Amino acid sequence: MFDKIKGIITADDFVEELYHQVAEMVFEGHEAGTLNPAAILSRFINDEDQYKEVAALFNAGLKESLSNEEQKKAFAETVMKVRKNSLDVASRNAKDITQLQEIIKQQAALKQLHISLE
């Protein structure tokens, strides 16, 4: 699924600190061809709450493969929500009008985006 979301969301789109850390590790591992969820999970072993939350991330998933239309739609909607949230946070933290205009442009483009898992 990484190929389907490439160019749409990155680790930087995960604005909550824990999710951002995990996303960075996942994206880097995928790029290097060494994605290892157990190794990522072990980095949080000293904080029980974070460990449980990260474990839940890796155990969450779609019940079947993405062959079901509802599941495809749910995945696409989740990707869109992550990106929209990222842009919303960026717009609230924009430093100047040029940056804000670029964010608004990206928000408009997001409305036209179609994610296909085919």
Please give the Cα distance from 63 to 87 (Å, whole number).
29
Please give the Cα distance from 86 to 88 (Å, whole number).
5
Asked whether residue 92 is domain-assigned, the answer is yes
Q: Is the pLDDT score of 41 beyond 70?
A: yes
Q: Are 84 and 9 in contact (CB under 8 A)?
A: no
Asked whether residue 71 is domain-assigned, the answer is yes
Whole-model pTM: value is 0.74
40: containing domain:
2-112
Asked whether residue 83 is domain-assigned, the answer is yes
Asked whether residue 117 is domain-assigned, the answer is no
pLDDT confidence band for 113 (50 / 70 / 90): confident
Residues 6+ apart with CB under 8 A from 100: 91, 94
Please give the Cα distance from 115 to 83 (Å, whole number).
12
Q: Is 5 or 32 the better-scoring residue by pLDDT?
A: 32
DSSP state of 12: G
Asked whether residue 118 is domain-assigned, the answer is no
The predicted model gives 49-68 an average pLDDT of 76
Q: Is the pLDDT score of 1 beyond 80?
A: no
